[in-house]
């Protein structure tokens, strides 16, 4: 029996060439500001932060770690996560698979979206060696089977679970009801593919109990099958703390998952998989924005809800940690609470959370927002003509983004 993730599955894979995504390097944000006094937003990668947080996740999670590419698909960010040791990628579409294949040599891509365009599963398998797919309804199974070699494939049945502690319910759209999962697994089994089980609790999950609860439901679904399932994918949802959004440490999640999964009726060579997006992509990126206008308690920035801050429109966290610079030096002193606005003409382009900033803040100052790597770069628009793709790297290992 070959171990998953190794390229010994008999399918030939196209040769991959290593491509470096080049970003300019500055010692720290102070140096960036002094050297360039940027008018447009600059997104700063802290490679040492990505390295440490990614390794921590890889070491702590009791199973295989797939990075959920949708959380941040910027090649320079993918490369950080890859360089720290991640070799498995949860992709939602053929373009994401193609991107990972170009950016992250010798990686394994998983096509984990029940909704696919015609022909894309076939191309994923023949052109990129993809072996893992997902369905959440029998109407999705026949079209998939027509495009792939089932004998060489693993097909996950996606089960709907949700928990009140998630910031966004990701089972409202995809996922079969738990009582329908055994039948779906049987259908997969009959195609000749290897059946496996997947769920996704939500995003920004505030309570490790959500995983324990979902593993309990999975346990039930797996207990009444005439065969044993080898792979259980518990999805993403591992949180990142933000101001006003306190969450337990990731290690708490890992230990809850470790003990709750001990009792699962998996096959002997059974394995857990996780699909963290936020936990891997959030920590090592900051956004350096510029103040365009200041009116009493209002600050207008060159980036907003149509840009890097788009995730704040959902009902999760409301703020990112931040700090202010003037002429490349930290601006400190007495603070007050401010409303922050984006640069577009849309009056809803206001960040939802009030932020404490120095009273003296003024036009031309810069604000750096930390922990902004998740659901930020990947959803920017050029609405009203505001768009920046200026991504740089911070070279000094002692430099920390705002916490
Ligand atoms: C969005 C998503 C993820 C990643 O979620 P995070 O909260 O960013 O960890 C993982 N799996 C699936 C199926 C998703 O839809």
pLDDT tens for 76-98 read: 999 999 999 999 999 999 999 99
**Ligand 1 centroid – CA 317 distance (Å):** 16
- In a 13 Å sphere around the CA of 261, the CA atoms on its Cβ side amount to 24
pLDDT band at 170 (very low <50, low <70, confident <90, very high): low
Mean pLDDT, residues 128-145: 97
Q: Residue 17's pLDDT is what? A: 38
Residue closest via CA to ligand 1's atom 5 equals 236
pLDDT tens for 240-293 read: 999 999 999 999 999 999 999 998 999 999 999 999 999 999 999 999 999 999
Please give the number of the atom of ligand 1 that sits closest to the Cα of 205: 7
Q: Residue 316's pLDDT is what? A: 87
Mean pLDDT, residues 92-115: 98
Mean pLDDT, residues 209-229: 95
| Surface-to-core class of residue 3, CB atoms within 10 Å of its CB (0-12 exposed, 13-18 middle, 19+ buried) | exposed
Residue closest via CA to ligand 1's atom 3 equals 236
Candidates 335, 348, 265; CA nearest to 306 is 348
The CATH number assigned to the domain with range 13-45+284-394 reads: 2.40.37.10
Residue closest via CA to ligand 1's atom 10 equals 236
Tokens 């944000």 found at: 29
Mean pLDDT, residues 143-157: 98
| Surface-to-core class of residue 10, CB atoms within 10 Å of its CB (0-12 exposed, 13-18 middle, 19+ buried) | exposed
d(CA 401, CA 378): 20
Could you please state the CATH topology (level 3) that the domain comprising 47-281 is classified under. Answer: TIM Barrel (3.20.20)
**Ligand 1 centroid – CA 165 distance (Å):** 15
pLDDT tens for 282-326 read: 999 999 999 999 999 999 999 999 999 999 998 889 999 999 999
pLDDT tens for 368-383 read: 999 999 999 999 999 9
Mean pLDDT lowest among 115-124, 168-177, 198-207, 340-349: 168-177
pLDDT band at 162 (very low <50, low <70, confident <90, very high): confident
57, 65, 67, 71: residue to mutate for ligand 1 pocket, most atoms within 8 A of CB: 71
pLDDT band at 168 (very low <50, low <70, confident <90, very high): low
Which residues form ligand 1's pocket by a CB distance below 6 Å? 68, 70-71, 90, 112, 170, 200, 203, 235-238, 275-279, 374
Residue 139 clears pLDDT 90, i.e. is over it? yes
The answer to whether residues 121 and 114 touch, using CB atoms and an 8 Å cutoff, is: no
d(CA 360, CA 299): 11
Residue 66 clears pLDDT 70, i.e. is over it? yes
53, 114, 233, 237: residue to mutate for ligand 1 pocket, most atoms within 8 A of CB: 237
Radius of gyration of the chain (CA): 22
With pLDDT > 90 as the criterion, what percentage of the chain qualifies? 89
Q: How far is CA 158 from CA 36, 49, 150, 177, 233, in A?
A: 48, 33, 17, 9, 9
Residue 7 clears pLDDT 80, i.e. is over it? no
Q: Where are the domains of the chain?
A: 13-45+284-394, 47-281
Q: Residue 163's pLDDT is what? A: 72
pLDDT band at 115 (very low <50, low <70, confident <90, very high): very high
Q: Residue 224's pLDDT is what? A: 84
**Ligand 1 centroid – CA 184 distance (Å):** 22
**Ligand 1 centroid – CA 158 distance (Å):** 13
């Amino acid at each position: 029996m070959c171990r998953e993730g190794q390229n010994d599955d008999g399918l030939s894979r196209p040769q991959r060439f290593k491509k470096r995504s080049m970003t300019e390097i500055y010692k720290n944000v102070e140096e960036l500001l002094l050297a360039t006094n940027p008018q447009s937003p600059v997104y700063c990668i802290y490679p040492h932060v990505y390295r440490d947080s990614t390794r921590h996740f890889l070491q702590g999670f009791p199973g295989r770690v797939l990075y959920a590419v949708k959380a941040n698909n910027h090649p320079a960010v993918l490369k950080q996560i890859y360089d720290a040791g991640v070799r498995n990628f949860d992709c939602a579409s053929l373009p994401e698979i193609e991107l990972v294949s170009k950016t992250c040599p010798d990686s394994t891509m998983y096509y984990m979206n029940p909704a696919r365009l015609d022909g894309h599963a076939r191309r994923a398998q023949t052109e990129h060696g993809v072996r893992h797919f997902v369905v959440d309804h029998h109407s999705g199974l026949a079209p998939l089977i027509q495009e792939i070699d089932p004998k060489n494939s693993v097909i996950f049945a996606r089960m709907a679970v949700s928990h009140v502690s998630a910031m966004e319910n990701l089972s409202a759209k995809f996922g079969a009801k738990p009582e329908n999962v055994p039948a779906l697994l049987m259908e997969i089994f009959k195609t000749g593919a290897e059946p496996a089980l997947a769920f996704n609790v939500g995003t920004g999950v505030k309570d490790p109990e959500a995983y324990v609860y979902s593993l309990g439901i999975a346990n039930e679904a797996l207990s009444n099958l005439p065969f044993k399932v080898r792979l259980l994918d518990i999805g993403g949802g591992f949180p990142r703390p933000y101001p006003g959004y306190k969450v337990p440490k990731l290690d708490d999640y890992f230990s809850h998952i470790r003990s709750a999964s001990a009792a699962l009726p998996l096959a002997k060579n059974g394995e857990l998989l996780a699909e963290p997006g936020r936990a891997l992509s959030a920590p090592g990126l900051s956004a350096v924005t510029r103040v365009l206008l200041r009116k009493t308690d209002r600050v207008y920035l060159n980036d907003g809800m149509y840009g890097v801050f788009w995730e704040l429109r959902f009902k999760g966290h409301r703020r990112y940690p931040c700090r202010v610079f003037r002429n490349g030096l930290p601006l400190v002193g007495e603070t007050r609470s401010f409303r922050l606005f984006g640069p577009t003409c849309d009056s809803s382009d206001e960040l939802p959370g009030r932020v404490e900033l120095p009273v003296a803040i003024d036009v031309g100052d810069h604000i750096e927002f930390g922990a902004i790597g998740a659901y930020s770069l990947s959803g920017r628009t050029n609405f009203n003509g505001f768009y920046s793709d200026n991504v740089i790297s911070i070279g000094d290992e002692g430099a920390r983004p705002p916490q």
